[in-house]
Chain A
Amino acid sequence: EVQLVESGGGLVQPGRSLRLSCTASGFTFGDYAMSWVRQAPGKGLEWVGFIRSKAYGGTTEYAASVKGRFTISRDDSKSIAYLQMNSLKTEDTAVYYCTRGSAGTLLNWGQGTLVTVSS
């Protein structure tokens, strides 16, 4: 069974940093792209970014709203994907979901972790 477990969320002040982790199990982690999607309270889904598998270069893509502030990385030996969030803004407040992807389709989702940016 595929499982994705996010961790690292919490309350953080504007301008500070936070790193989220996504621990995966139940599949060959290195074979898949991993995406992050967020959902502000009461709002719709917003794609944040993804990291391709090593077979496709392990490169990353980001939404314009987070480009230059957020960085996605992966440790295939530990089956963990990371979302490093710097220079956080109040509008980054959201539940952050980790997803397993294949060619742009988000096959499985974690339960999400809440990030609250507030002073």
Chain B
Amino acid sequence: DIQMTQSPSSLSASVGDRVTITCQASQDISNYLNWYQQKPGKAPKLLIYDASNLETGVPSRFSGSGSGTDFTFTISSLQPEDIATYYCQQYDNLRGLTFGGGTKVEIK
């Protein structure tokens, strides 16, 4: 099974800061990597698909990059409404999906 290691598990940043989250796959997954946002008490929401494609309607301050085993998710300028937990998810072999452990983002 493919394991996804996401870091950090939590972070605290100021409004306007650049925030970066990383996700590492245990084997090459090409670009089969998605990012989701989950606000407290809500269902997750797709933000980025195929490593770097912004889902329709998602603000452009969110971005993703990477391929192979190493991926990065960035919020270019943190906003108060971005307080949430973010998850990466791989789907390399289409026989199963795996999520990273999540990163809780808080405002400093």
Seen from chain A, the residues whose Cβ lies within 8 Å of a Cβ on chain B are 35, 37, 44-47, 50, 61, 63-64, 97, 103-112
Contacts and interface: CB of A to CB of B under 8 A. Distances in A.
Nearest to A33: B94
A104 B44 contact: no
B34 interface: yes
Interface stretch (B16-24, B58-66, B71-79, B98-106): B98-106
Given A47-B89, A103-B91, 11 more contacts: A37-B44, A44-B85, A44-B87, A47-B96, A47-B99, A97-B43, A97-B44, A106-B34, A106-B44, A106-B97, A109-B44
A105 B49 contact: yes
Contacts of B90: 104
A45 B87 contact: yes
Contacts of A44: 85, 87, 99-102
B33 to A, nearest CB: 10
A78 B107 CA distance: 44
Main secondary structure of the interface of A (DSSP, over half): strand
Interface of B: 1, 32, 34, 36, 38, 43-46, 49-50, 85, 87, 89-92, 94-102
Contact of B91 (A104, A108, A109): A104
A44 B97 CA distance: 14
Nearest to B53: A105
B95 A47 contact: no
A27 B1 CA distance: 32
Contact of B43 (A63, A104, A109): A109
Contacts of B96: 47, 61, 63
B36 A104 contact: no
B40 to A, nearest CB: 11
